[in-house]
Amino acid sequence: MANNPQPAHITAEMWWFIEELERLEGPDTVFAGAWGRFKPGYHCDAWELWNHKVGSSFPWRVDYSTMLADDRVLGTPLDQFGAAVDWTFLSAQAGNFTNFKKYGRRIRAAHAARDPRLKGWREVLCQGDDDNPADGYDFVSWTQRTPDDTHRWHMHFSCLRKFLRTLSVFQAMISILRGETLAQWQAKTVQGGVNMKLFKANGDYWISRNDGETRETVTGLPDPGGMYALFVDAYPGCAYPDVDTAKWPKTDLALERGWTKQHLDGVFGIQIPFGTSHATGGGGGGDTGVHKHAISLHTAAQTLTSTTGPSVPA
């Protein structure tokens, strides 16, 4: 994943969110924008909205993205940051709305349920049903509106400005988009957050600490209904992006979604050869790869109990 291109105008917490969006569908989606001063709205920072001058007037001072109490950040360190993200689906641009509507439906359901994970968000503009017009979901007024047609293929997220440095707000939205239930999210929050990802690529199973550094193969672990399944039960959402009946990751990211080695390296870290124990600090010895990676999973579970959530890029 790329570094934050505008750290003075895109918070580290928002950049974490952007990177997580790109992880959800891999090559099918791209980051299409966050901060910008070319028009009013949540993409623009509060300082520019107040100071933008046309002739002798300041027309952006009454912009809707600064009217709510949670958007009034002028004069604080938050007034330099944009508060919106655009997420483009290449398949939807080409006329296939399957992936795009999957996430839109999750937003629609969360809006209808007034899901508490939406706290800190103003709106999402997307395609949440099966008709042609795009849909806008407001999480303050709990109303809907029809945005322009570009939102049939790109999703727009507006964060209330006072929450731009609150990582849990962004984590909660990712939870909704992943399809996690509220109960799963609440259990994960109590346990301290999940930093781990278990996934499948090219027929093998992998464990990644989701820190962009390393990933280890767990091929060969016996009894898919045993320790591995217990790990998934204890940390809901760690199997990425879905699970089969044995609770192993179901979708092969490389074979079924077209993820390249470069993309896997960028999202899950570089490969550690099977039989080398990253968790125990070395390889070799007389232990088998199966044994070493069983230790690795156990160590990972211990690590998870002490984490406070996903790391935030600098």
pLDDT digits (tens, 9 = 90+) for 297-310: 444 443 333 333 33
Q: Cα(256)–Cα(267) distance, rounded to whole angstroms?
A: 17
- Quick one: pLDDT band at residue 280, thresholds 50, 70, 90? very low
Quote the tokens at residue 25: 């569908």
How many angstroms separate the CA atoms of 264 and 228, rounded? 21
Question: What's the CA gap between 299 and 175, in Å, rounded?
Answer: 24
Provide the pLDDT for residue 12: 87
Per-residue pLDDT at 229: 61
Given a contact cutoff of 8 angstroms between Cβ atoms, the answer to whether 268 and 22 are in contact is no
- Residue type at 309 in one-letter notation: G
**pLDDT tens-digit series, residues 212-255:** 567 777 655 545 555 566 666 655 567 778 878 777 788 898 89
Task: Say what the alpha-carbon torsion angle 86, 195, 203, 277 is, to the nearest 10 degrees.
Answer: 140
Rounded distance between C-alpha atoms, residue 20 and residue 41, angstroms: 23
Would you state the pLDDT for residue 297? 43
Q: 183 is written with which tokens?
A: 């109960």
- With 0-12 / 13-18 / 19 or more C-beta atoms within 10 angstroms meaning exposed / middle / buried, residue 94 is exposed
- Out of 21-30, 249-258, 277-286, pick the least confident: 277-286
Q: Which amino acid does the sequence have at 249?
A: P
Angle 289-305/227-234 helices, nearest 10 degrees?
Answer: 20
Q: Which residue did the predictor score with more confidence, 275 or 5?
A: 5
197-201 and 84-89 as β-strands: parallel, antiparallel, unpaired? unpaired
pLDDT at 291 over 60: no
Give the pLDDT of residue 287. 30
Residue of higher predicted confidence among 213 and 7: 7
Query: Which residues partner with 73 through β-bridges?
Result: none
The SS3 of residue 71 is helix
Which sign, positive or negative, has the C-alpha torsion 283, 289, 291, 292?
A: positive
For CA atoms 291, 295, 298, 304, the dihedral sign is negative
| 50 pLDDT more than 60 | yes
Residue 32: CB atoms within 10 Å: 16
Q: Would you say residue 138 has pLDDT above 70?
A: yes
Residue type, 108: R
pLDDT at residue 294, as a whole number: 36
| pLDDT range class, residue 32, cuts 50, 70, 90 | confident
- Rounded distance between C-alpha atoms, residue 157 and residue 107, angstroms: 11
Reported confidence tier of residue 47, pLDDT bands at 50, 70, 90: very high
Per-residue tokens: 179? 């399809």
Q: Which two tokens stand for residue 3?
A: 């570094």
- For residue range 63-116, list pLDDT tens digits in order: 999 999 999 999 999 999 999 999 999 999 999 999 999 999 999 999 999 999
Q: Which residue has the higher pLDDT, 61 or 219?
A: 61
- Give the residue from 178, 209, 191, 207 showing the smallest Cα distance to 294: 207
pLDDT value at position 197? 77
pLDDT score at 189: 63
Higher pLDDT among residues 35 and 229, named by residue: 35
CA distance 233 to 228: 9
For residue 176, how many other CB atoms are within 10 A of its CB?
22
Q: Which two tokens stand for residue 253?
A: 């990211």
Give the integer Cα–Cα distance in Å for 197 and 239.
6
- The pLDDT of residue 114 is 96
Instruction: Give every CB contact of residue 106 below 8 A, 6+ residues apart in sequence.
Output: 176, 177, 179
Bigger pLDDT: 164 vs 287: 164
Which pTM does this prediction carry?
Answer: 0.65
The per-residue pLDDT for range 153-205, each reduced to its tens digit, is 999 999 999 999 988 899 899 999 999 999 888 776 654 444 567 888 988 88
* pLDDT computed for residue 305 by the predictor: 32
Alpha-carbon distance values, 256 to 146, 210, 220, 250, 267 (Å): 34, 21, 22, 10, 17
